[in-house]
Structure 1
């Protein structure tokens, strides 16, 4: 009897039995616990059953409506965070690309700057050595550039350099590389190019520069260049410094011939 009282007083075992009966009869465990617990416990208060059913229905209605809303809001917030992260990632990628371009590019001409040009020369020499390929190069110097700066000013001097860079880029192939070595000197790399073809490129550059009229604040001026061309059939004995030194020597030989000249080796 005392055991029955403990069983009856808690009501929990009746609820568990009711849940099992609900599953067996197909009502489901929650509804079975509500319906059968008072019957098993001898509590046939219909008001109690009604209130319990109401609480059950209210709970599941609340869950049915609130859960999608909560998860919907949470999903929207996650979507917002993802968009923000993607925007930040894109911004960082753009900044990194800009910084990389700035570290490689000469401000005045938009060509490779001296530091990156030397890196490119080193890479091309390594590639030519590895695959036993020949390589040609040239150094282009703007004749009397100091006089242009002194007479017209540095803004016009920078403008001349920009237009000269555009001519050089236009007169070479896409695989060729053009950089500003420093001051009024430019270096052109011609991978896998024979000496004859390199000389033809130099002639084309010389001709286009002669025909071009460089704009100043008052009028247009003509400019000439001295070009040193070197063909390397075997680059094994050269590093980047010796390579540039050979180009420089060829360019000065052209300039010593009276300017507006091409010297090739």
Structure 2
């Protein structure tokens, strides 16, 4: 019975295809880390990672190959991050790396390392080996809650999660607009 409960707990927090944490779990972890960041004045960073032209991989080689790519992609990213970092699937081919106690410049270096590793990696699929690139958006919160305006029934952490993810997402799309296979950092740490 304990094994069944343990298995259900794992299934509740992981993406069934890739084994990465699922969106709900990563969102809760971001909120938890932001709360700790505010309490202790420590930085936290978020990196949004998107596989460039993933749709064309699916269209050209089929969904099985696309699934192979996603599974190995998670393994490759997992090998590049610290044990304190958290990798989660945000949706489709978008992933989030949550880096506690990490300032913006450190997160930019991590994002660049992720980009370079993926760029060089020969991904093994049922079709054969494929190479592709990623676009990454990076943002950071320095732990200062500033003068954040609240809405009814919304916590500071909820507001900051939304802002942090929106900024990382905007930067990731900026990287795509600038030609893909790039890291686009926010110009400064998130301000509230």
**How do 1:149-164 residues align onto structure 2 when only pairs under 5 Å count?**
149-164=58-73
Paired with 2:125 and 2:3, the residues of 1 have a C-alpha distance of 35
Secondary structure, counterpart of 1:209 in structure 2: helix
Give the alignment partner of residue 233 of structure 1, picking from 139, 142, 146. Answer: 142
Is 1:224 equivalent to 2:145 in the alignment? no
The answer on whether the counterparts of 2:140 and 2:164 sit within 8 Å (CA) in structure 1 is no
Residue in 1 that maps onto 2:177? 256
In 1, Cα distance between equivalents of 2:174 and 2:4: 44
- Whether contact under 8 Å (2:87, 2:95) holds in the other structure is yes
- TM-aligned CA deviation for residue 203 of structure 1: 1.2
SS of 1:174's partner is: coil
When normalised by structure 2's length, the TM-score is 0.87
- Distance in 1 separating the partners of 2:110 and 2:168: 15
Task: Give 1:136's match in structure 2, choosing from 45, 54, 57.
Answer: 45
Q: Which has the higher helix share?
A: 1
Contact 1:135 1:194 in 2 (8 A): yes
State the 1:130 CA deviation.
1.1
In the other structure, the counterpart of 1:113 is: 22
Give the alignment's TM-score, normalised by structure 1: 0.63
Contact (CA 8 Å) 1:104, 1:112: kept in 2 or not?
yes
Map of 1:210 onto structure 2: 119
1:161-188 deviation per Cα after TM superposition (whole angstroms, max 9, x unaligned): 1111111111110001110000000000
User: Larger strand proportion, structure 1 or 2?
Assistant: 2
Paired with 1:218 and 1:94, the residues of 2 have a C-alpha distance of 36
Q: Tell me how large the CA RMSD over aligned residues is.
A: 1.2
- Consecutive unaligned residues of structure 1, counting only runs of 5 or more, are 1-91
Instruction: Give the Å deviation of 1:196.
Output: 1.5
For 1:144-168, what per-residue CA distance to the aligned partner results, in whole angstroms no more than 9, with x for missing partners? 0000011111111011011111111
- Counterpart CA distance in 2 for 1:172 and 1:120 is 16
Structure 1 equivalent of residue 190 of structure 2: none
Matched pairs, number: 174
Q: Which runs of 4+ in 1 moved over 2 A?
A: 215-219, 234-239
Contiguous gaps of at least 5 residues in structure 2: 149-158, 187-192
Aligned pairs for 1:1-265 (under 5 A) are 92-234=1-143, 236=145, 237=148, 238-265=159-186
Larger Rg, first or second structure (1 or 2)? 1
Any conservation in 2 of the 1:135–1:235 contact (CA below 8 Å)? no
CA distance in 2, matches of 1:199, 1:181: 19
